[in-house]
Amino acid sequence: MLATALAAAFAAAACTAPARPPGVLVFASGADLESANPLVTVHGLSRQIQRFALFTTLARYDSTLTPAPYLAREWKWSSDRTRLTLTIAAGVTWHDSVPTTSKDVAFTLIAARDPRTGYARSADLAAIDTVTTPDDSTVVIEFAYPQPSFPLVLCELPILPAHLLKTVPRGEMRHAAFNSAPIGNGPFKFAERIPGQRWSFTRNAAFPAELGGPPSIEKLVIAVVDEPTTKLAGLTSGDLDFAGIAPTMAALAARDPTVRVMDYPILLSSALIFNSHQPPFDDARVRLAVNASLDRDRIVRAALAGYGKPAAGPVPPESPRALAAAPIHDTRLADSLLDAAGWKRGTDGRRSRDGKPLKAEVLTVGSGDNAVEQLIQADLAERGMAIEIRQLEMGAFLTRARSRPKAFDLLVTGIPGDLSLSYLGAMYESRQRGGALDYGDFHTPELDSLFARARRSREADAPAAWRAIQAVLAHEAPAAWLYHSRGLQGVSRRVQNVTFDLRGELESVVRWRLVPK
């Protein structure tokens, strides 16, 4: 029960509604935070807690999504752009009072680059040759080849305390005790964790003004609330200050005078992933036919209540690096492609080839009703393809998705992105994290070459390089992109100074203020 869990958090009797102390803000999470260690975390809200509350990053994105100084107050490049020298802010301490120094930066970068650690974006650090620390406030990063721009991963990888983690074997980092009882250096301090119920963080009154100063709120509680109706009830009762809202409940929440409904772009795109290593999806014509069969407008309207955008590719249209393209819904084209691939319609409307029916199983984690999957099933049935939906729990789904060789026909999954678009590389190259193209294990020499070009492109040339990748993906169709999600949060009107954008829901957490009801 939400009231019981929060009552415990606020030291109130479990049989009564929680008495909210002043200055406490409660943010609902649909699942327990994965870990407090950014080296082993992929869960979106966990990463935001790390970047914006618990730790500091070397740089951070400003409102134009340009890297701006943070823990690193300034930096400069060598003339050949193979050496980056950063100056670390003085006076930043870990929450156990140990100073944050350049040695912490070096430790974090070297550990993140090591494949044994399992950091999801280690490929973004592969060009690093050495990291040295001439003194406690200076970090020198030597690269194996000239860098076209400031590495954007440095805006997203929080710096970790070397004095607490340097003795942890890299291959054991996922199991470190630190992960559930962290010591940070950010504007909030870790206070408590009750597995499966909540994480609590308190205000760091000593956080330097140079880095933004202490937060306004006294305590931030991340409460695990996974049921949509419970979230809505918590918002309207005042037990919760922030909670994600199901699209179908947005209109109801908006009628409550104590709640604001905020929708905003997020970096999460959903796709139908093909196993391109076996029939029928080893034929690009079949993949393209499926892509053309899907009525994405109907999916967004019926399954998401309009809170999403039909997708033509993996990159949300808000990104300046998105390929300008409209989603395809052309049933005549789909029929033509299937005919050309030898899948002919019978008198019953179903397609077959050499006596074998055109059918497939789609795997999903799903939400019970599988609305998106049922709409896909209906669209493909009209083209003569029989689709069976199989819902799995997350562990079983990931096992099937990451298997080698591939052990599925189709997957429906959401793919979290990042502002640097390196998630395209993770989808293509990763063998640990998984991702759309990695799940499908889809590789071509042309894509290999284009990804190498994109990673080494100068900043001015990078958008064209990423668009070229998207053009190849559209032609080869290793995945049929469905929609780009929009975030949908219910926010108590007692919380002020809240802004949401592509940087995340917690980007403005230091500025949030609570006003009396």
Predicted pLDDT at 435: 43
Predicted confidence band of residue 434 (pLDDT cuts 50, 70, 90): very low
pLDDT tens readout for residues 500-514: 988 889 999 999 999
Predicted confidence band of residue 427 (pLDDT cuts 50, 70, 90): low
9, pLDDT greater than 50 = no
2, pLDDT greater than 70 = no
Predicted pLDDT at 226: 83
Predicted confidence band of residue 433 (pLDDT cuts 50, 70, 90): very low
Helix extents (H) in 223-270: 228-237, 250-254
What average pLDDT score do residues 196-210 get? 96
Q: Where is mean pLDDT largest: 18-27, 116-125, 168-177, 392-401? A: 168-177
| Residue 344 zone, left/alpha/beta (φ > 0; ψ -120 to 50; rest) | beta
What average pLDDT score do residues 32-53 get? 91
358, pLDDT greater than 60 = yes
431, pLDDT greater than 70 = no
pLDDT tens readout for residues 148-186: 889 989 999 999 999 999 999 999 999 999 999 999 999
Strand partners, 487: 264
Q: What is the pTM of this model?
A: 0.76
Predicted confidence band of residue 360 (pLDDT cuts 50, 70, 90): very high
CB 343 within 8 A of CB 350: no
Largest CA distance in the chain: 78
Predicted pLDDT at 162: 98
**Hey, what's the torsion of the CAs at 201, 205, 209, 215, to 10 degrees?**
40
What average pLDDT score do residues 28-36 get? 89
What average pLDDT score do residues 306-334 get? 88
What average pLDDT score do residues 306-329 get? 86
CB 219 within 8 A of CB 203: yes
CB 61 within 8 A of CB 146: no
Q: How far is CA 379 from CA 281, 295, 296, 441, 486, in A?
A: 17, 7, 10, 26, 23
331-340 and 284-293 are packed helices; what angle lies between their axes, rounded to 10 degrees? Answer: 160
10, pLDDT greater than 50 = no
CA–CA separation, 144 and 472 (whole Å): 28
Predicted pLDDT at 430: 46
3-class DSSP state for residue 410? strand
Find the range with the poorest average confidence among 135-149, 270-284, 385-399.
385-399
The DSSP bridge pattern shows strands 128-135 and 59-61 to be unpaired
Predicted confidence band of residue 44 (pLDDT cuts 50, 70, 90): confident
Q: Where is mean pLDDT largest: 3-7, 140-144, 317-321, 393-397? A: 140-144
Q: How far is CA 273 from CA 57, 59, 290, 305, in A?
A: 33, 34, 11, 23
89, pLDDT greater than 50 = yes
Predicted confidence band of residue 65 (pLDDT cuts 50, 70, 90): confident
Average predicted confidence (pLDDT) for the chain: 88
Domains belonging to the chain, first-starting first, are: 2-55+186-241+494-514 (3.40.190.10), 59-165 (3.90.76.10), 266-485 (3.10.105.10)
Predicted pLDDT at 34: 84
Predicted pLDDT at 329: 97
328, pLDDT greater than 90 = yes
296-303 and 371-382 are packed helices; what angle lies between their axes, rounded to 10 degrees? Answer: 150
Predicted pLDDT at 1: 47
Predicted pLDDT at 365: 83
239, pLDDT greater than 60 = yes
Predicted pLDDT at 116: 94
49, pLDDT greater than 80 = yes
